[in-house]
Amino acid sequence: MLRGVVLGIDRWLRRRLAIYEFTDDARCLFRIAWEKADREVLISDGTRIAPGEPLVEVHLWNEHLPLLPNRGNDLAWAARAARLTEHSLRLLAAHVQTDPALRDIRAVHGRMALPAPNAGESSFALARRLGFDVRPSDGGAAARFRKFWNNVHLWLLIWVFNPGRFRSRRHKVLKWSWFDLWMSRDALLARHGSPVAPGAHRRG
C-alpha cells in the first residue's frame, strides 16, 4: 500500500517538474528536465551561467538504478554504477547534440545527496572524474526546509527502489547533505560526445 503511494507521489512530482525520459535505453540512469539557474554560477572551465539562464537538470531514473546487495556497498556494484553513469552521460551528450530545443543550453546541473563529505569521497572523485564540479548546496532557512523534504523523499525512494541500501542506512538518510553538480555543455560534449551515434536511443 505505502509503496504504491510513494510511486504515485514520485510520478506526480515528475509531471509537476516536467521530468522526461530522453532515451529508451534501459541502462540509462538519467531523466532530465528544463530548469533555470537560481543564481550566477562560474563553472571551472570558465563558463559563466547567469541567473535565470535555462539549464538541463539531471534526475536519477530510479527504476534503472542497480540494486545494492544486502550486504551494502561492494566493489562490483560500485564499478557497475560508474560504468552506467558514464554510459548515461554519453547518451545525454548525444541528446544535447541532436535535439534542436537544447541548442542554446550551456550547462547541465544535478544534485547529489551524501551521508557526509568524508563518507562521500569516492562519489566526489567519480563525479569529478566524469567532468562535474561538485559544490555544497546553498544554506539558509529555505534551503534547509527544502533539504529536509528532499531527504524524506529520498528516504522513501530508497525504501522502494533499493531496499539493500535502505537497510544499511535507514536511520541516517534524513541527515544527508546535498551537493550541486555542474558541467558546461562544452565539457559534456568534449568528454562524453560520441561514440554514441547522433540520434541513437532517442525517444521520439
Tell whether 10 is covered by a domain.
yes
Tell whether 198 is covered by a domain.
no
What is the tens place of the pLDDT at every residue in 41-80?
999 999 999 999 999 999 988 788 777 666 655 678 778 8
Residue 44: which residues within 8 A CB-CB, separation 6 or more? 133
Q: How many of the other CB atoms lie within 10 Å of CB of 100?
A: 6
Whether the upstream peptide bond of residue 195 has omega within 30° of 0, thus cis, is yes
- Secondary structure of 73-95 as H, E, C letters: CCHHHHHHHHHHHHHHHHHHHHH
Tell whether 200 is covered by a domain.
no
- Are the C-beta atoms of 107 and 135 separated by less than 8 Å? no
- Write phi, then psi, for 126 (nearest 5 degrees): -65, -45
Tell whether 158 is covered by a domain.
yes
Residue 164 structural domain: 2-192
Reading phi first (left if > 0) and then psi (alpha if -120 to 50, else beta), residue 201 is in: left
Considering just the CA atoms, what is the radius of gyration of the chain in Å? 17
Tell whether 202 is covered by a domain.
no
Question: CB-based burial of residue 78 (10 Å sphere; 0-12 exposed, 13-18 middle, 19+ buried)?
Answer: middle
Query: What's the residue count for the chain?
Result: 204
Tell whether 197 is covered by a domain.
no
Predicted confidence at residue 196, as pLDDT, reads: 47
Tell whether 69 is covered by a domain.
yes
**Structural domain total, the chain:** 1
pLDDT-derived band at 182, boundaries 50, 70, 90 = very high
What is the tens place of the pLDDT at every residue in 140-150?
544 444 544 45
- 20-24, 59-63, 152-156 — which is least confidently predicted? 152-156
